[in-house]
């Protein structure tokens, strides 16, 4: 959603009353790129892309200067190079980002145990129980930003609101390096200024359907009868967007979510229809997840594929493996089989993700197959060591080299 359209009018003061806004969304600013710029300050101010080199793979992160050229995460590196040929391309270093992420999450954990880690660079916090000790939500948000900057050398943007959805929208509009409070009584006024594409799940196809009915902003969406929205977008989508347009989001902050799984997903503002491009993204995500398992000393038993269509209908498929693994080669067999069994959603793909569940410690003594060769994981573990020293671009999975002509 951070790449979805924003409203310049929405980034302003909405008042100082944070008495009914206990939800914080903390989101690092261009996290991978920011960490790299911390390590290489001479590149500050220049467009920087973190991803595969020599036009291979996909963009993992881009500095704001590169984003101004139209570069976005999950874009093919070849397309990014065409849009921003002057950019400095750096390899991904997941080990380094994980270290900084752990520092950030430690800071957030000092605020409250009611924290939901969404990814390595963002989290929701419910600070109701921290007010007596640390002050108001805005004061807590300011403390978080200061501590993150001082202890890690990177910046965070924070949204403060009454619900998770609005807090995430607020942090998006606070970027970069900002804080935005949306008082509870100002929620509808804030939402009314936004284009419909700013809402979770509204892609190009849904926006086109709404535009045919003259619905281009959240104000018009909120004024539309829910039954009409159901006819336009379908029952589930219509009710979902009607609730969001009115600021309704009953989901609580759920601590411990990240400990149960390892995953990554990419949201595309422009829907994706090229299945081979989608396959490469899934393969890259598989290698990312497997590397994170090995870094954390974990193995997984369940592989989950997540695909969201242009109408934001989300399909998940899972496969349970007979033996826990931390190897991308094993995980990819399951991901690829699940992907091949799914047709491309009508209107294209809005989101792709891989998630690994059923986690267990690698040293817990899991049962191995009788004919399993313990050396079969040696290549991936050796590649981990090479990447940790020389960067992710030093070793590239051979399967990611097979690009279509369009990506060359």
Beta carbons of 237 and 312 less than 8 angstroms apart? yes
Name the phi and psi angles at 249, rounded to 5. -155, 95
Q: Which helix (H) or strand (E) holds 317?
A: strand 314-325
Residue 27, annotated ligand binder? yes
d(CA 49, CA 58): 10
With b for 16 or more beta-carbon neighbours within 10 A and e for fewer, the 373-407 pattern comes to eeeebeebeebbeebbeebbbebbbebeeebeeeb
121 annotated ligand binder:
yes
Residue 10: left if φ>0, alpha if ψ -120 to 50, beta else—which one? Answer: alpha
DSSP class of residue 344 equals: P
Alpha-carbon span 187 to 161, nearest angstrom: 8
Nearby residues of 69 by Cβ (< 8 Å), 6 or more positions away: 47, 83, 84, 87
245 with 218: CB under 8 angstroms? yes
Are 136 and 18 in contact by the 8 Å Cβ rule? The answer is yes
Angle at 97 between CA 350 and CA 33, to 5 degrees: 65
- Is there a contact between 386 and 311 (Cβ–Cβ < 8 Å)? no
Q: Do 192 and 236 touch, CB atoms closer than 8 A? A: no
Which residues participate in catalysis according to the annotation? Answer: 122
CA 201-205-206 angle, to 5 degrees, is 50
Dist CA 126 CA 137 (whole Å)? 9
R_g over Cα of the chain? 21
Report how far residue 352's alpha carbon sits from residue 164's, in angstroms, rounded to the nearest whole number: 22
Give the three-class secondary structure for 70: coil
Contact of 33 with 50, CB cutoff 8 Å: yes
Residue of 4, 351, 2 lying closest to 198 (CA atoms):
4
Binding residue positions: 27, 121
Binding residue positions for Mg(2+): 27, 121
């Amino acid at each position: 959603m951070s790449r979805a359209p924003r409203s310049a009018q929405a980034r302003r003061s909405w008042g100082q009353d944070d008495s009914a806004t206990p939800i914080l969304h903390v989101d690092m600013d261009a996290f991978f790129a920011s960490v790299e710029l911390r390590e290489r300050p001479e590149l500050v101010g220049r467009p920087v892309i973190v991803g595969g080199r020599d036009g291979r793979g996909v963009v993992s992160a881009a500095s704001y200067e590169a984003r101004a050229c139209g570069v976005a995460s999950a874009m093919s590196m070849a397309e990014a190079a065409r849009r921003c040929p002057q950019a400095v391309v750096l390899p991904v270093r997941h080990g380094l980002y994980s270290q900084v992420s752990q520092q950030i999450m430690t800071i957030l954990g000092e605020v409250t145990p009611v924290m939901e880690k969404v990814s390595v660079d963002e989290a929701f916090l419910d600070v109701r129980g921290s007010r007596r000790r640390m002050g108001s939500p805005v004061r807590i948000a300011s403390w978080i930003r200061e501590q993150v900057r001082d202890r890690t050398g990177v910046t965070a943007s924070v949204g403060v609101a009454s619900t998770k959805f609005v807090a995430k929208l607020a942090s998006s509009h606070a970027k970069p390096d900002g804080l935005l409070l949306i008082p509870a009584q100002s929620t509808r006024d804030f939402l009314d200024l936004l284009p419909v594409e700013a809402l979770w799940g509204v892609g190009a196809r849904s926006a086109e359907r709404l535009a045919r009915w003259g619905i281009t902003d959240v104000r018009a969406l909120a004024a539309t009868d829910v039954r009409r929205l159901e006819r336009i977008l379908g029952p589930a989508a219509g009710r979902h967007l009607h609730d969001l347009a009115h600021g309704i989001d009953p989901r609580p902050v759920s601590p411990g979510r990240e400990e149960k799984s390892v995953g990554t997903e990419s949201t595309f503002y422009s829907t994706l229809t090229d299945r081979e491009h989608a396959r490469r993204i899934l393969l890259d995500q598989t290698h990312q997840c497997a590397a994170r398992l090995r870094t954390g000393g974990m193995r997984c038993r369940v592989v989950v594929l997540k695909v969201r269509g242009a109408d934001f209908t989300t399909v998940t498929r899972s496969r349970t493996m007979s033996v826990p693994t931390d190897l991308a080669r094993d995980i990819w067999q399951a991901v690829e089989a699940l992907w091949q069994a799914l047709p491309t959603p009508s209107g294209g793909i809005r989101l792709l993700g891989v998630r690994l569940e059923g986690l267990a410690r690698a040293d817990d003594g899991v049962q191995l197959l009788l004919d399993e060769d313990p050396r079969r994981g040696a290549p991936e573990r050796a590649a981990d060591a090479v990447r940790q020293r020389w960067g992710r671009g030093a070793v590239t999975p051979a399967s990611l080299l097979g690009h279509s002509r369009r990506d060359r």
